[in-house]
C-alpha cells in the first residue's frame, strides 16, 4: 500500500472490492451510488475542460483537482442543502455537488470577478479563499451562528495539507472546540503544497492533531468515495446533533500541477505519480459499480452525455465572456459610495469612455 494510509478508513480497495461489513453503516441507495459516480465523472470532465480553457487563454489560471474527485464529491454529498461549505481554491467538485453553476465559479479563474459570480449565501458555498487556511475561521464563526440560531445547519471547511501549518487552522479548530461549533474540518491531504511534500509541513499525522483540540480526528482513504462519504456523513451528523467538530484527513493525491502556472515535473517523482494513478478514484469506483451490475451501458451513456453537456455549458459560458462593467468596480466597496469613490469612478469612466 502507498504510504500515508495507516489507520485510514477504507470501504473499497483499489480493485473495487467492497468491505461489506464496514459498508453496513452506509445509508446510500442505488440511486445515490450512481449519483456519486455521475458527479465524479462530471467533476473530472469539468476539471479537464477548465485546464483546457486555461491553455487556450480563456482562464487566467486554473488549479486542477484531478485525482481528488472522490474526496470532494464524497464529502460534499454528505451535506444537506442548508449546510454551508467554505472552500479554498481547488474545490470545483464540491462546488458542483453544492449546485453552484460552474460558469459562475470559473469566472473567478477567468479574472471576471474575485469570488466568482455566484451568490454564496443562496448556494451556501463560500467564495474561493486563496489566503491559505483563512476560510477555516469563517466556517467556525458561521457554524457558531447556526448554533445560536437553534438551526441544524452545519459548516464544512475545505483546506489542504499545507493549510495545517497556518495559525488560522489551529485557531479555527480551537475556537470550534471551545464554542462547540457544528463544523467539519475537511483536509484533503493531496501530499503537496505546491512543491513542498507533506512530510515537510508536519511530522504528526494530520488527523491526530484533532486530539489536541479535544474532538475526533479521522483518516480516510480520500480516493474511496464511499469511505469518504461515510466518515463525512458521520462527522456532519455529529456536528448537527451533538455540536462536536471533527477533523477529517482525506488521503489523496494531486495528479496535476498546483496550478496551470506550475511545473510539477520539477518536484513530483514520476514513480510516485504513477503509483497514485493506479489508485485513480474513478477507476476504482467504476469497477465496483460495474461488478454490481449498476453501471450498465445505458447508464454510462447517460452519464457521458451529462458530462459532455456540462463541458459544453462551461465552454459556452466562459469563452469570450465579456469583462465586467468598469463601473462595477466602485459599486460594492461600501454599502454606499463615498464622495471620494464617486470622484474616482467618474475619473475611470471618463478615461474608459475616451478609449
- Contact positions vs other proteins (CB under 8 A): 113-115, 117, 119-122, 127, 129-131, 134, 136-146, 148-149, 155, 167-168, 171-172, 174-175, 178, 328, 331-335, 338-340
Separation between Cα atoms, residue 226 and residue 13, nearest integer Å: 11
Q: Exactly one of 10, 45, 238, 258 is catalytic; which is it?
A: 258
State the catalytic residue, choosing from 55, 114, 267, 277.
267
The CA distance from 149 to 20, in Å, is 40
Contact assessment for residue 282 and residue 252, using Cβ atoms and an 8 Å cutoff: no
> Whole-number minimum distance, CB 134 to other proteins, in Å?
6
213 is a catalytic site residue: no
- For residue 323, the minimal CB distance to other proteins (Å) is 14
> Does 55 participate in catalysis according to the annotation?
no
Nearer to other proteins, 47 or 168 (CB): 168
Catalytic residue among 10, 107, 110, 254: 254
Give which of 187, 168, 224 is closest to 17, Cα–Cα. Answer: 224
Q: Which of 294, 259, 348 is nearest to 65 (CA)?
A: 259
Instruction: Quote the least distance from Cβ 330 to other proteins, whole Å.
Output: 10
Q: Which burial class, exposed, middle or buried, applies to 235 when counting CB atoms under 10 A from its CB (0-12, 13-18, 19+)?
A: buried
Nearer to other proteins (CB atom), residue 55 or residue 114: 114
Residue 74 or 182 with smaller CB distance to other proteins: 182
Q: Whose Cβ is closer to other proteins: residue 138's or residue 258's? A: 138
- Least Cβ distance, residue 186 to other proteins (angstroms): 16
**228 and 222 Cβ atoms separated by less than 8 Å:** yes
258 carries an active-site annotation: yes
Q: How far from 39 is each of 32, 77, 167, 220, 248, CA to CA, in Å?
A: 10, 9, 33, 20, 21
* Residues tagged active-site: 254, 258, 267
Amino acid at each position: 500500500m502507498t504510504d500515508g494510509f495507516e489507520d485510514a478508513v477504507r470501504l473499497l480497495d483499489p480493485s473495487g472490492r467492497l468491505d461489506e461489513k464496514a459498508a453496513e453503516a452506509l445509508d446510500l441507495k442505488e440511486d445515490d451510488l450512481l449519483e456519486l459516480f455521475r458527479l465524479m465523472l462530471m467533476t473530472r470532465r469539468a476539471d479537464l475542460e477548465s485546464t483546457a480553457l486555461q491553455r487556450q487563454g480563456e482562464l487566467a489560471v486554473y488549479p486542477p483537482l484531478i485525482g481528488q474527485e472522490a474526496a470532494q464529491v464524497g464529502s460534499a454529498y454528505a451535506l444537506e442543502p442548508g449546510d454551508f461549505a467554505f472552500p479554498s481554491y481547488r474545490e470545483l467538485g464540491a462546488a458542483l455537488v453544492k449546485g453552484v453553476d460552474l460558469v459562475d465559479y470559473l469566472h473567478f479563474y477567468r479574472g471576471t470577478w474575485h469570488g466568482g459570480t455566484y451568490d454564496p449565501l443562496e448556494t451556501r458555498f463560500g467564495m474561493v479563499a486563496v489566503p491559505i487556511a483563512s476560510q477555516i475561521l469563517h466556517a467556525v464563526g458561521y457554524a457558531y451562528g447556526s448554533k445560536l440560531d437553534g438551526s441544524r445547519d452545519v459548516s464544512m471547511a475545505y483546506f489542504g495539507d499545507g493549510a495545517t501549518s497556518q495559525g488560522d487552522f489551529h485557531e479555527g479548530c480551537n475556537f470550534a472546540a471551545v464554542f462547540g461549533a457544528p463544523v467539519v474540518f475537511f483536509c484533503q491531504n493531496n501530499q503537496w503544497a505546491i512543491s513542498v511534500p507533506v512530510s515537510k509541513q508536519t511530522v504528526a499525522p494530520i488527523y491526530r492533531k484533532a486530539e489536541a483540540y479535544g474532538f475526533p480526528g479521522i483518516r480516510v482513504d480520500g480516493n474511496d468515495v464511499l469511505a469518504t462519504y461515510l466518515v463525512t456523513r458521520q462527522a456532519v451528523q455529529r456536528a448537527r446533533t451533538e455540536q462536536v467538530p471533527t477533523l477529517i484527513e482525506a488521503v489523496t493525491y494531486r495528479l496535476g500541477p498546483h496550478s496551470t502556472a506550475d511545473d510539477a515535473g520539477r518536484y513530483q517523482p514520476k514513480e510516485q505519480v504513477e503509483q497514485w494513478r493506479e489508485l485513480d478514484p474513478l477507476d476504482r469506483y467504476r469497477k465496483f459499480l460495474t461488478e454490481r451490475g449498476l453501471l450498465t451501458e445505458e447508464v454510462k451513456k447517460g452519464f457521458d452525455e451529462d458530462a459532455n453537456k456540462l463541458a459544453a455549458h462551461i465552454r459556452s459560458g466562459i469563452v469570450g465572456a465579456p469583462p465586467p462593467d468598469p463601473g462595477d468596480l466602485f459599486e460594492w466597496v461600501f454599502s454606499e459610495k463615498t464622495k471620494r469613490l464617486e470622484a474616482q469612478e467618474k475619473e475611470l469612466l471618463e478615461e474608459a469612455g475616451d478609449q
